[in-house]
Amino acid sequence: MFDTSTASAQGVDRIRRRSGTLSGEITNISTLAVTISKGGVEQKVPVEDIRTIDFAGEPEDLRPARLAANAGRYQDALDRLGAISLSDVEREAIRQDIDYLRMACQVQLALAGQGNLDQAAQEASAFLKKNRNSYRVSAALELLGNAQMARGEYDTARQEYEKLARAPSPYFQARSAILKGRLFQAQDNHAEALIEFEKALAAAQKSAAAQPEELEATLHRAVSQSATGKVEEATSTLKEIIAQAEPKETKLLARAYNALGDCYLQSGNDKAARDAFLHVDVLFSAAKTEHAKALFELSRLWRSQGQETRANDARQRLEKEYPASRWGKQ
Amino acid sequence: MSVHTGSFLQIVRVLCCALVWQTLALPLDAAEKEVDWAAQYLAGLRQRGWHDVALQYLDQAEEDPLASPEFLKRVEFEQALTRVALAKQSVSKRQRQELLDHACREFLSYAQENRNSPQEVEALSQAGNLFAQRALSSLNKADQLPPQAVNQRQALQEASRGLLEKASQALQDLRVSCATQLKAVPKAAALQKDPARRAMRSQLENRQAEAQFLLAKLKLNKARIYPPDSQPYSKTLQEAAKDFLRLYQNYEDKLIGFYGRLYEGRCYQQLGKSQEALKCFDDLVDRPISNPEFRRLVARAFRRRAEIHLAAGNFEDAIQECRQYLKESRNDELRKPEWLAVAYRLASAYEAQSQTPEVGKEAKRLRNEARKLLREIARHPGEFQQVARAALASPGGGDQKIVVKTFEDAFIAGKEALEQMNSSRLAAKLAAENNPGSVGNLQQQAKLHQSQALHYLETGMRLADEDTLLEKLLSARYYLCWLYWEEGRVHEAALIGDFLARRYPENQYARVAAKVALAAYERIYQEARGLNAEQAVYEAEQLTRIAQLIITRWPESDEAAVAMNLLLNVALRDNRIAEAETLLNRLPAANRGGAELSLGVSLWKRSLAPEGKASEEEILKLKKRAVELLSRGFESLRSQGAPSSAEVVGALYFAQALLAKGESQRAVEVLQHPQVGPLTLVRKKDATTRDPKIAVEVYKTALRAFVSVAPPQRDRAREIMQALEAAYGDSGNGGAQLTQIYLSLGVQLQRQISDLTTSGQVDKASAVAGAFEDLLERVTEQSGADKSWTIQNWIAQTNLQLGQGLRGQAAQAYFEQAEAVYRSLLAEAEEDPDFAPSKIAILAVKKRLGDTLQAQQKFADAFNQYTDILRTKPNMLELQQAAATTLQQWGRAEKDPKILENAIRGTLPQDNKKNLVWGWLRLASLADNAKRRSLQSADANSPQVKKYHDLFFSARLQVAQARFDAAQLATGSDREKQLGKARQSLTSMQRLYPELGGPHWKAAYLKLLKQIENTSS
């Protein structure tokens, strides 16, 4: 969703895709694709292939804000965005991007327990109403659904996720199924979740753009497999995911270690579970939602292992860093 | 004073100007440029000080999907490093030792696995350094021992020698490895375009130099093993001096070379060759230098020069040189350890000079100068900080306490007093052998220091404030905890120990504090139980809590095994057998022996007095498990030796269990085991069997064993009887007690015979009975035995019990013997009114004569015996039961339905129209009423209520049984009628009491009902 490259936008628009960068002039933006023209030749880039867009003439704080958001430094990103004067922004696409980034950071902070969920959900709704043709609509739908799920509004969240599947693209079908699967997981309905993840895997195989979704679906499927008793199979899948993950995929690694910790808990291996969650705490604490969960589990595991100080330390960090997260409230 | 090898290793590495080794090891390939998550994770854990978790992680590293093959290859090395770090955190000497031993083995093994590689060099360097550190630690301990501790000092020096040799071997190997690897790397000049390999070459050269230096230093330290002025001492120092000189020559104009010169001087200094030493130091002190490392070296040289001046009494020279040097030093340097050491020598010189006669009025100024310097030294960390503080605080000995105004001062004074206390204790212990006259004085000194330590540390607690360093505060608390324990102030010890363990589990003292708390809580619990076992619930909870904390927090520790054992014993005391079994399984296998014996004893006891109405099968199962545990426990005991009293009791129970199983030979072996056999220990008058009760039980068991072993060891049995008689000889009622013992032996033999019969070992049962018969004869032949009511009664009763334990003809002989003796007793009592101790005793003999007759199926005679007593004691339930049983068996034997009816409804009507013998129906009715009455004043589980409960269900069952017996004698409609009555008796009981009095009675009722149904159909 966010870009991590270092190129800067000057006089031309730049679309940073998964498979390289295109520069030129953006001539059309829709919810499904962005059209860029160079030397009179137009090229339509599907939204799922776009990592980010640097617009010609965008405010100088916008790009650092994007980078901070990509790195999970949402508060830094918001501070940068706060420095931008919207009245100076004339181009609609840029204004939309600023709106989106502000909303996305607020939702992410709220999801990590560092902000207000109600307000975040409202922001996401407002963005969607105001920017019906933005290429960020699909991402905003997912964020809105996530916020609703965190508030326990499962039905409304499902409706948002289902909207994604309406797009005529295997990528969005896979994405929608993954999100619905996670929704079922949140409701402890692992049998339904497994069905959704299987759908996601099937859809992901139809398109190269959907390949990363295959890994994510596999990861979440392992969690549900573990919950339905197939702990060994799930553990082995998760280990494979971790072993194959790129070092930069720290969020995925954090998720995978948390899932691995859950599997070990399921099989009663508390020490291995503690080590898995400890990986998230020591190595991947930038993945905030996952870090909150890891701290929660660690506080319990340390206590059960007679390590009161470590348990208290984990609990205090959880309450300090993620006061509003669902883990912090437990 | 020697420089610590560990710190020196760091210095050497600085001197060698090495680049970071890891970056030079090999040219990096693409794979290695990637993130090594496992290494980062390990580093993260170490950064948090969680070496325990790090070690656990490394043990399981293969399970971590992020652990790369490169990382997994060096796991053993990382494990060793982690163990060294853990050892530093541990305050347990033994644990520290184990960790370091393990680490050394791992470093060497890793080096072996990675021959001629940078990894080998690194591992050998670590191993050499570690061995050297441990050797130095032993040498330092030896130096601190009091002069009397000759053996201990030798042991420590011996240990140091071994460690120094190992260190030397590791460093020699390191040199060889470096040399081999260097041969494979081109000269530096040829590596201009290959910086990585050039750096690697340089690194190997540095390591070689480092090893050369450390090897020489090992020799310098090795000299400390020998007495000064001895030949090996001089020889070793001279060799070290040569090695250092070689280093000086090989690395001319390099820092490591100059250090060689410094240490060469130190060798001469120790040899007493002051001039040679000063010459070496002179080569160092005159150099104008700015490099900080060189300046440190020079400071060291000045310190050594001052030491030589002081030893020679040239105080003025020492003062001049040191004062001048410190004056010329930079301000920031004056607080560094090397300069503080020079300052300390200067203070010593002032102090020494002040005591010379020629200084006159200057003395006071000199002392003031010295104190000024000491105050400065005491403020900064360094080799002399403690000693400076002690010098400032020293009250000059005796019991005078110094005034302490800060926590810091109190802490130091407390620690000092503790050290003196330990030293005095050790000296007292040693003096017990060498100079017994001084023991009292030394013990008094130890006590005085103990009270001073307590005073200072308690004062320190009051002086502590928010600026007090937590580490020191916790150390002070632990010392107090330990002192309270020593003083017998167990509540305070428990409180502080518990607090430290619970609140600061990461602290180095947490584990030992928990151990003290555990011991203290146990003592509190035992004391509370001693006062009132029922009221010790709170104390038991406290004990359980700390034990559980230890087990959870330090599961692999020895303390956890102790705690688990304790919990197990508490569970056993509270009769929670299942929990005790679970706890036993959680104990490390090596520590299970004592617990297995305790649990085995508990199960064995339970099998002898089962709760409720356990089935025979359940009891056999219980016994089997008990014997398994006792056997395993005894095996552990055999291998570990030195048993506790409780373990001796466990072994005794094991022998008893073996006897019950008919394994008399094994029982004899257990009892007479040369190291841990209970009989052996009693004979040796071992402390564990000093309790007379234990000794008597051992004799009783041994008597049984010798009597029942095949062939019986009658001589041994006689010896034991003599021992028993001797044990009771002095006491007033010894004879009566002895008879009780023989009687209880009879009961045990009866049980043994019964067990053997039940398990089908009839031959063994007969052999035991025969052997015991011999014993009976011997007892009977004893002087006055025939005139003793007690002995005769015992003989009769034992014969009766033996007979009851056997079957058929084998039993008959014993019954006849019993009958004869009972009849003789009653006849004698008839003739001599004083023969029987009481009228009740005569009634009891009559009752047992009845039992004997009934056992021989002489029902009429038995019935007469019982009714004879009933005429005077008609309300004796036991007799009424016996009479009804006799009638029932009699009726069955004679096939007489009338007698069976009498068993049900009673017989022998008296003048009051009531039957003398009640019969089962009336017994049931009376039992039911009595139960109801008892329930008004006692609970349902009280023995009294239970007795009536069982009598009621037994009597009602016998009613149905007697009717069934009668039906079997009848024919036609009469038979059907009797069967119907029997069935009705049972079904009406079922309706009224669906549970039929519990599992035991229910099974019996249903069994009979089934028999009736089968007969009807």
CA distances to B111, B232, B533, B601, B935 from B613, rounded to whole Å, are: 66, 79, 27, 21, 21
Give the helix/strand (H/E) hosting B422: helix B407-434
**What is the C-alpha to C-alpha distance for residues B187 and B706, in angstroms, rounded to an integer?**
86
Taking CA–CA distances from B506, the nearest residue in chain A reads A309
Give the helix/strand (H/E) hosting B849: helix B839-855
| Predicted pLDDT of residue B611 | 61
Which range (A54-63, B394-403, B635-644) has the least confidence? B394-403
CA distances to B554, B569, B588, B649, B662 from B596, rounded to whole Å, are: 22, 11, 12, 12, 22
Please judge whether A242 and B34 are an interchain contact, meaning their C-beta atoms are less than 8 angstroms apart: no
Which residues from chain A sit within 8 angstroms of residue B50, using beta carbons? Answer: 310
DSSP classification of residue B3: P
Please judge whether A247 and B35 are an interchain contact, meaning their C-beta atoms are less than 8 angstroms apart: yes
Which residues from chain A sit within 8 angstroms of residue B560, using beta carbons? Answer: none
Which residues from chain A sit within 8 angstroms of residue B48, using beta carbons? Answer: 282
Asked if omega into B195 is within 30° of 0 (cis), the reply is no
Question: Out of A242, A283, A304, whose CB is closest to B41?
Answer: A283
**What is the C-alpha to C-alpha distance for residues B483 and A309, in angstroms, rounded to an integer?**
26
Please judge whether B503 and A308 are an interchain contact, meaning their C-beta atoms are less than 8 angstroms apart: yes
Give the helix/strand (H/E) hosting B917: strand B915-917
Confidence of residue B474 (pLDDT cuts 50, 70, 90): very high
The distance of A247 to chain B (nearest Cα, Å) reads 7
Q: Which of B45, B66, B509, B551 to mutate to test the interface with A (most CBs of A within 10 A)?
A: B66
Higher pLDDT, A324 or A318: A318
Q: Is B503 on the interface with A (CB under 8 A)?
A: yes
| Predicted pLDDT of residue B390 | 67
DSSP classification of residue B185: S
At B873-887, the pLDDT tens digits run 888 888 999 999 999
Q: Do the Cβ atoms of B284 and B258 come closer than 8 Å?
A: yes
Own/partner long-range contacts of A233-241 (Cβ < 8 Å, ≥24 apart): A234/A259, A234/A263, A235/A260, A235/A263, A235/A264, A235/A267, A238/A263, A238/B65, A239/B63, A239/B65, A240/B65, A241/A215, A241/B65
Indicate whether B861 pLDDT > 90.
yes
Chain centroid to CA A78: 17
Indicate whether B23 pLDDT > 50.
no
Higher pLDDT, A329 or B605: B605
| Predicted pLDDT of residue B238 | 95
Q: Which of A250, A253, A307, A313 to mutate to test the interface with B (most CBs of B within 10 A)?
A: A307
Average pLDDT, chain B: 84
At B795-827, the pLDDT tens digits run 888 788 778 777 777 788 889 988 998 998 999
Taking CA–CA distances from A247, the nearest residue in chain B reads B35
Indicate whether B81 pLDDT > 50.
yes
At B315-343, the pLDDT tens digits run 999 999 999 999 999 988 999 999 999 99
Higher pLDDT, B752 or A60: A60
Confidence of residue B713 (pLDDT cuts 50, 70, 90): confident
**What is the C-alpha to C-alpha distance for residues B941 and B235, in angstroms, rounded to an integer?**
85
Average pLDDT, chain A: 89
Q: Do the Cβ atoms of A52 and A2 come closer than 8 Å?
A: yes
Please judge whether A242 and B66 are an interchain contact, meaning their C-beta atoms are less than 8 angstroms apart: yes
Specify the residue for token string 């200084």: B359
Rounded to an integer, the average pLDDT of B896-915 is 90
What number of other Cβ atoms are within 10 A of residue B200's Cβ? 23
Contacts of B363 by beta carbon, 8 Å cutoff, 6+ apart? B354, B355
DSSP per position, B126-155: HHHHHHHHHHHHHHHHHHHS-TT-HHHHHH
Please judge whether A247 and B53 are an interchain contact, meaning their C-beta atoms are less than 8 angstroms apart: no
Question: Out of A275, A304, A309, whose CB is closest to B57?
Answer: A275
CA distances to B25, B114, B173, B557 from B122, rounded to whole Å, are: 10, 10, 11, 31
Q: Is A312 on the interface with B (CB under 8 A)?
A: no
Which residues from chain B sit within 8 angstroms of residue A304, using beta carbons? Answer: 552
| Predicted pLDDT of residue B409 | 83
**What is the C-alpha to C-alpha distance for residues B298 and B300, in angstroms, rounded to an integer?**
5
Both structure tokens of A142: 């997912």
Higher pLDDT, A3 or A317: A317
Higher pLDDT, B197 or A230: A230
Nearest-CA neighbor of A118 among A329, A324, A330? Answer: A324
Confidence of residue B997 (pLDDT cuts 50, 70, 90): confident
The distance of A263 to chain B (nearest Cα, Å) reads 14
Give the helix/strand (H/E) hosting B533: none
| Predicted pLDDT of residue B962 | 92
Indicate whether A144 pLDDT > 80.
yes
Confidence of residue B168 (pLDDT cuts 50, 70, 90): very high
Which residues from chain B sit within 8 angstroms of residue A253, using beta carbons? Answer: 37, 66
Tell me, what amino acid is at B146? P
Please judge whether A309 and B553 are an interchain contact, meaning their C-beta atoms are less than 8 angstroms apart: no
Q: Which residues 63-92 of chain B have a CB within 8 Å of chain A?
A: 63-66
Confidence of residue B5 (pLDDT cuts 50, 70, 90): very low
Question: Out of A239, A272, A309, whose CB is closest to B60?
Answer: A272
* Residue spans of beta strands (DSSP E) within chain A: 13-17, 20-29, 33-38, 41-46, 50-54
Residue A20, beta-bridge partner list = A17
Indicate whether A91 pLDDT > 50.
yes
Q: Is A240 on the interface with B (CB under 8 A)?
A: yes
Own/partner long-range contacts of B538-544 (Cβ < 8 Å, ≥24 apart): B540/B570, B540/B574, B542/B494, B542/B498, B543/B518, B543/B570, B544/B570
3-state SS class at B45: helix
**What is the C-alpha to C-alpha distance for residues A67 and A77, in angstroms, rounded to an integer?**
8
Confidence of residue B969 (pLDDT cuts 50, 70, 90): confident
Rounded to an integer, the average pLDDT of B577-587 is 77
Phi and psi at residue A38, in whole multiples of 5°? -140, 125
Taking CA–CA distances from A313, the nearest residue in chain B reads B48
The distance of A259 to chain B (nearest Cα, Å) reads 13
DSSP classification of residue B438: G
Please judge whether B66 and A253 are an interchain contact, meaning their C-beta atoms are less than 8 angstroms apart: yes
Indicate whether B43 pLDDT > 90.
yes
Secondary structure percentages of chain B, helix, strand, coil, to 5: 80, 0, 20
| Predicted pLDDT of residue B94 | 80
| Predicted pLDDT of residue B191 | 67
Rounded to an integer, the average pLDDT of A21-29 is 93
Q: Is B60 on the interface with A (CB under 8 A)?
A: yes
Phi and psi at residue B598, in whole multiples of 5°? -60, -50
Indicate whether A220 pLDDT > 70.
yes
DSSP classification of residue A209: G
Which range (A55-69, B729-743, B933-947) has the least confidence? B729-743
Please judge whether A279 and B40 are an interchain contact, meaning their C-beta atoms are less than 8 angstroms apart: no
Question: Out of B57, B64, B502, whose CB is closest to A308?
Answer: B502
Residue A44, beta-bridge partner list = A35
Confidence of residue B777 (pLDDT cuts 50, 70, 90): low
Residue A53, beta-bridge partner list = A15
At B346-371, the pLDDT tens digits run 999 999 999 888 888 888 899 989 98
DSSP classification of residue B99: H
Please judge whether A304 and B552 are an interchain contact, meaning their C-beta atoms are less than 8 angstroms apart: yes
Please judge whether A275 and B53 are an interchain contact, meaning their C-beta atoms are less than 8 angstroms apart: yes
Q: Is A306 on the interface with B (CB under 8 A)?
A: yes
Indicate whether B67 pLDDT > 50.
yes
Pairing of strands A41-46, A33-38: antiparallel
Quote the percentage of chain A above a pLDDT of 90: 62
Taking CA–CA distances from A279, the nearest residue in chain B reads B41
The predicted model scores a pTM of 0.57
Q: Is A202 on the interface with B (CB under 8 A)?
A: no
Q: Which of A279, A301, A317 to mutate to test the interface with B (most CBs of B within 10 A)?
A: A279
Q: Is B44 on the interface with A (CB under 8 A)?
A: yes
Please judge whether B502 and A239 are an interchain contact, meaning their C-beta atoms are less than 8 angstroms apart: no
Q: Is B506 on the interface with A (CB under 8 A)?
A: yes
Which range (B149-153, B506-510, B945-949) has the least confidence? B149-153
DSSP per position, B48-93: TT-HHHHHHHHHTGGG-TT--HHHHHTHHHHHHHHHHHHHHH---H
Which range (A120-124, A188-192, A243-247, B569-573) has the least confidence? B569-573
Rounded to an integer, the average pLDDT of A117-144 is 94
Q: Do the Cβ atoms of B890 and B866 come closer than 8 Å?
A: no
**What is the C-alpha to C-alpha distance for residues A303 and A299, in angstroms, rounded to an integer?**
6
Indicate whether B998 pLDDT > 80.
yes
Indicate whether B14 pLDDT > 80.
no
| Predicted pLDDT of residue B88 | 85
3-state SS class at B772: helix
Rounded to an integer, the average pLDDT of B44-55 is 91
| Predicted pLDDT of residue B11 | 44
Rounded to an integer, the average pLDDT of A101-109 is 94
Taking CA–CA distances from B502, the nearest residue in chain A reads A308
CA distances to B892, B894, B904, B921, B984 from B898, rounded to whole Å, are: 10, 10, 10, 15, 20
Which residues from chain A sit within 8 angstroms of residue B508, using beta carbons? Answer: none
Both structure tokens of B442: 């030394």
Specify the residue for token string 């619930």: B537
Both structure tokens of B806: 């056997």
**What is the C-alpha to C-alpha distance for residues B546 and B559, in angstroms, rounded to an integer?**
11
CA distances to A95, B851, B865, B919 from B871, rounded to whole Å, are: 117, 17, 10, 15
Q: Is B286 on the interface with A (CB under 8 A)?
A: no
Q: Which residues 77-106 of chain A have a CB within 8 Å of chain B?
A: none
Confidence of residue A135 (pLDDT cuts 50, 70, 90): very high
Please judge whether A306 and B41 are an interchain contact, meaning their C-beta atoms are less than 8 angstroms apart: no
Indicate whether B610 pLDDT > 70.
no
Tell me, what amino acid is at B961? Q
**What is the C-alpha to C-alpha distance for residues B883 and B906, in angstroms, rounded to an integer?**
9
Which residues from chain B sit within 8 angstroms of residue A272, using beta carbons? Answer: 60, 63
The distance of B1003 to chain A (nearest Cα, Å) reads 41
Indicate whether B891 pLDDT > 70.
yes
Pairing of strands A33-38, A20-29: antiparallel
Both structure tokens of B470: 């937590």
Largest CA distance in chain A: 70
Q: Is A309 on the interface with B (CB under 8 A)?
A: yes
Q: Do the Cβ atoms of A263 and A236 come closer than 8 Å?
A: no
Contacts of B943 by beta carbon, 8 Å cutoff, 6+ apart? none
At B681-697, the pLDDT tens digits run 998 888 888 888 888 88
Cα dihedral sign, B994-B999-B1003-B1005 = negative
Residue A26, beta-bridge partner list = A36
Whether the complex's predicted ipTM surpasses the cut of 0.95: no
The distance of B585 to chain A (nearest Cα, Å) reads 18
Which range (B345-359, B903-917, B971-985) has the least confidence? B971-985
**What is the C-alpha to C-alpha distance for residues B773 and B789, in angstroms, rounded to an integer?**
19
Taking CA–CA distances from A245, the nearest residue in chain B reads B66
Please judge whether A275 and B44 are an interchain contact, meaning their C-beta atoms are less than 8 angstroms apart: no
| Predicted pLDDT of residue A217 | 93
Specify the residue for token string 């552990």: B636
Alpha helices in B574-615, H assignment, sequence order: 577-586, 593-608
Q: State the distance between the two ends of chain A, measured CA to CA, in whole angstroms.
A: 30
| Predicted pLDDT of residue B149 | 76
Contacts of B434 by beta carbon, 8 Å cutoff, 6+ apart? B148
Quote the percentage of chain B above a pLDDT of 90: 35
At B262-294, the pLDDT tens digits run 999 999 999 999 999 999 999 888 776 788 888
